[in-house]
Chains A and B, each alone.
Chain A
Amino acid sequence: MILLDLFHYWVFIAILMMGFYTVIAKQNLIKKLLGLSLFQSAVFLLFIGIAKVDGGTTPILHPSISTEIFSNPLPQVLILTAIVVGISTSALGLAIVVRIKEAYGSIEEDQIQSKDESA
């Protein structure tokens, strides 16, 4: 039962490792970037998961909301920032891949390496 209680941590770890594996194992630079995005998204899930409070509602002060328990809004705000960081990283990474393609004619890591060594 304790395994199910910690369900969202397991999801976090699984996605994190999938992303990490892709970054390390794939030769294709675009695939590497996708893995990196996945890796970052897993961390977003970790933060958003911990914000949920059992029985809590939206954290808005309003007369129609009578409960005293609210979900924690802070992690979501943090992750909003982290998502922006993630998007910028992916965008910059893709821009670099475009330039690598222009300069080397390939986006496979081993081919790029062999081109540099032969040059």
Chain B
Amino acid sequence: MNLALHYPVLQVIIPMLMAPLALLVQHRKLAWLLASVTSLCAFALAIAIAQLVLQGSSYAYPLGGWQAPFGIELRVDSFSAIVLIIVSGASTAALLAGYQSLAQDIEEDRASLFYAAWLLALAGLLGIVVAADAFNIFVFMEIASLASYILVAGSSDRRALPAVFKYLIMGTIGATFYLIGIGLLYIMTGTLNLSDLEVRILAVEDQTPILMAAGFISVGLALKAAIFPLHAWLPNTYSFAPHAVTAFLAACSTKVALYVFLRIDFFVFQRTLSDHAAQFSIYLLPLAVAGILYGSAMAIREPLAKRLFAWSSVAQIGYIVLGVSLVSQAGLSAGILHMFNHALAKGAIFIGIIVLASQCQQLTPTALNGLGRKHPLIGIAFVVAGLSLVGIPGTAGFVSKWLLIDAILEHHRWSIALLMVVLASSLMAVVYLAKVCETLFFKTPETTVVQPLPKLAIALLLLVSFANLIFGVAPGLPLELANNAASLLLEHTL
């Protein structure tokens, strides 16, 4: 038996089976340990899958031996591999760093429930990525969403509750829109398997239902991915969620929705809808630009550090969308690489927030005053992550921004205007980062009670910040995966 063939399914069922197990372990530390080890396993599997897909292009896994299109199929390729790494890596880092912080937020008797929900969210997100069936994607999406509503509602801040309610309403509307789109596709083609759909959709003569389906699916997934102007749920959800949950979700949940969006759009609709590339960029490009500018502007105005970085996520999603909306090899690979790099930078920043929050009672605008001066190492690691967010040379963020600018220059018509947007928003990012730095380094600390530093969280912060520097100098694996993924998406034009 060749175990490597089973990696795609193991990726999903290990966290899924461990979730009820975590529920049975009525002990905070054991449940956390179980969740962390499971998440680490998923990360190792994701790396192994990435190695495998770099050798071959993609491989499918028929569940239970039933061949597609009748059976359910899982499929992994370079694009899924990079997203798998993002999801499992973010989950692992957030879990390891979040133990103490979560212990403050979650009561002892609910801890195992919380970690079970975390594992379900992880299983759902990984499931979305490996599923090759439109309906399975919906089911996994709902598993992931329902579990992450629970995670966000775990916060001890009561403002998390209205935020999560809004998230639930908008997330469900998004998923239902997606389901309507799938329904229309099923009516026209009679299949749900993505690769089967790709072939059968060519035989459909009437384009109107297909166009409707594309619209419903795009809007639904854009809601989940928080693409401007459908980002309304994001800032409050991220700022009031428990810090570790923010680190997890901010790094990966919107990217997974973007992944599904790109995958379905490019695999299914690209060949059948006439003038697909032009339409794709006409709708997405302005939204991306507006998202970048609006998100950055709101981040500058925001006094609360955690909410500030939530707004910056809206802008960064804009960068990813800007890259892919150029519909070129360079643009797509820049966008996909930016998913990875943004996850690294945002992950590090929110892990930094975990560490800093441990030093103050509540994250008020003045609570972080002078904390960087008090703990220089933490401060510097935090700033490195921030610089990666801005895209300073030598950090991971620079590589994808450079590729993005490269792709924009290739795309001749609006290149100057788009370049100005990227430049302006980078300057805005410098401004809001400077604001946080000023709080951290140049303000006198409030007289706070000295609390023990969470060592594991600091170690993770240093590790992820260091990874930002490493991937800034040698972006090897993610860059290769992103390039492969981009050509894979474009190959489906033919």
Please report A residues at the B interface, Cβ cutoff 8 Å. 16, 20, 23, 29, 32, 36, 39-40, 43, 46-47, 50, 75, 78, 81-82, 85, 88-89, 92-93, 96-97, 99-100, 103-104, 109, 112-113, 116
Contact (Cβ within 8 A) B168 A96:
yes
Task: Name 15 extra pairs, CB < 8 A, besides A50-B186, A88-B146, A113-B162.
Answer: A20-B173, A23-B169, A36-B169, A39-B176, A40-B176, A43-B179, A46-B180, A47-B186, A89-B172, A96-B161, A96-B168, A104-B158, A104-B161, A104-B162, A112-B162
C-alpha spacing A109/B183, complex, angstroms: 33
**Structural contact, B165 and A36, CB atoms closer than 8 A:** no
Let me know if B169 and A47 touch, CB within 8 A.
Answer: no
CB contacts (< 8 Å) of A99 on chain B: these are: 153, 161
| 10 A-B residue pairings within 8 Å (CB atoms) | A36-B172, A40-B172, A43-B176, A47-B186, A50-B187, A81-B139, A88-B146, A89-B146, A89-B172, A113-B162
Q: Which of A50, A78, A96, A103 meets B135, CB within 8 Å?
A: A78
Chain B residues touching A, majority SS: helix
Q: Is the Cβ of B142 less than 8 Å from the Cβ of A46?
A: no
B164 within 8 Å of A (CB atoms): yes
**B150 in the interface, Cβ–Cβ < 8 Å?**
yes
Which of chain A's residues have a CB closer than 8 A to the CB of B150? Answer: 92
B159 within 8 A of A: yes
Given A39-B173, A89-B172, the answer on whether A96 and B180 have CB atoms closer than 8 Å is no
Q: Could you tell me if A103 and B158 are in contact, using CB atoms closer than 8 angstroms?
A: yes
The answer, yes or no, to whether B114 is at the interface (CB within 8 Å) is: no
Whether a CB of chain A sits under 8 angstroms from the CB of B149 is yes
Q: Tell me whether A82 and B169 are in contact in the complex, defined as CB-CB below 8 angstroms, given that A50-B186, A92-B146, A96-B161 are known contacts.
A: no
B162/A32 in contact, CB under 8 A: no
Complex A-B, nearest 7 residue pairs according to Cβ-Cβ distance, in ascending order: A103-B158, A85-B142, A100-B161, A96-B165, A46-B183, A50-B187, A43-B179
Question: In the complex the two chains form, what is the Cα distance from A47 to B192 in whole Å?
Answer: 13
Interface centre among A16, A29, A89 (most CB of B within 10 A): A89
A25-B491 Cα distance, complex, nearest whole Å: 44
List chain B residues, Cβ under 8 A from A46.
Answer: 180, 183
Cβ contact within 8 Å between A116 and B183:
no
The answer to whether B172 touches A100, judged by C-beta atoms less than 8 angstroms apart, is no
Report Cα–Cα, A12/B182, bound state, in Å: 15
Complex CA gap A109/B186 in Å reads 38
Residues of A with C-beta under 8 A to B158: 103-104
**CB-based contact A23/B186 at 8 Å:** no
| CB neighbours of A116 from chain B (8 A) | 159, 162
B180 partner residues in chain A, CB cutoff 8 A: 16, 43, 46
Structural contact, B173 and A36, CB atoms closer than 8 A = yes
Please state if A47 and B183 are interface contacts (CB–CB under 8 Å): yes
B356 to chain A, nearest CB (A): 23
Using Cβ atoms and an 8 Å threshold, which residues of chain B touch A39? 172-173, 176
Q: Chain B interface: which size bin?
A: 20 to 34
B173 near A85 with CB under 8 A, answer no
Shortest distance between the CB of B185 and any CB in chain A (Å): 11
Give complex CA distance A89, B164 in Å. 12
List residues of B (277-305) whose CB comes within 8 Å of A's CBs: none
Task: Say yes or no: B186 contacts A96, CB within 8 Å.
Answer: no
Residue of A nearest to B164 (CB): A96
Partner of A23 from B138, B173, B179, B192 at Cβ < 8 Å:
B173
**Measured CA separation A7–B19 after assembly (Å):** 44
Q: Are A82 and B179 in contact (CB under 8 A)?
A: yes
Bound Cα distance from A109 to B173, whole angstroms: 18
Interface contact B187-A89, CB-CB below 8 Å:
no
Given the known interface contacts A43-B180, A46-B183, A85-B139, the answer about A103 and B161 at a Cβ–Cβ threshold of 8 Å is: yes
B183: contacting residue among A43, A81, A88, A104, CB under 8 A: A43
B residues within 8 A CB of A113?
Answer: 162
Chain B hits for A50, CB < 8 A: 183, 186-187
Tell me which residues across on chain A come within 8 A of B165, comparing CB atoms: 29, 93, 96-97, 100
- Inter-chain contact A75/B176, CB cutoff 8 Å: no
C-alpha gap A20/B165 in the complex (Å): 16
When chains A and B are docked, how far (Å) is the Cα of A60 from the Cα of B473?
62
Chain B contacts with A in 114-168, Cβ cutoff 8 A: 135, 138-139, 142, 146, 149-150, 153, 158-159, 161-162, 164-165, 168
With CB as the reference atom, state the residue of chain B lying closest to A50: B187
Nearest-CB distance from B150 to chain A (Å)? 7
Q: What's the minimum C-beta distance from B230 to chain A, rounded to whole angstroms?
A: 14
| A92 & B168 in contact (Cβ 8 Å cutoff) | yes
Complex CA–CA separation, A119 to B162 (angstroms): 15
Please encode chain B, from 187 to 221, with 1 for each CB lying within 8 Å of some chain A CB and 0 for all others: 10000100000000000000000000000000000
Write out the residue numbers on chain B whose beta carbons fall within 8 Å of the beta carbon of A104.
Answer: 158, 161-162
Residues of A within 8 A of B162 (CB): 100, 104, 109, 112-113, 116
Tell me the complex Cα distance, A116–B139, Å: 35
Q: Are B186 and A89 in contact (CB under 8 A)?
A: no
Distance to closest chain B CB from A84 (angstroms): 9
Contact of A96 among B142, B149, B175 (CB under 8 A): B149
Q: How far is the CA of A46 from the CA of B176 in the complex (A)?
A: 12
How many angstroms between the C-alpha atoms of A103 and B155 in the bound complex? 12
Give the residue name and chain of the A residue nearest to B166 (CB): A109
A90, closest chain B residue (CB): B172
Q: B residues within 8 A CB of A40?
A: 172, 176
Task: Enumerate chain A residues within 8 angstroms of B186, measured Cβ to Cβ.
Answer: 47, 50, 75
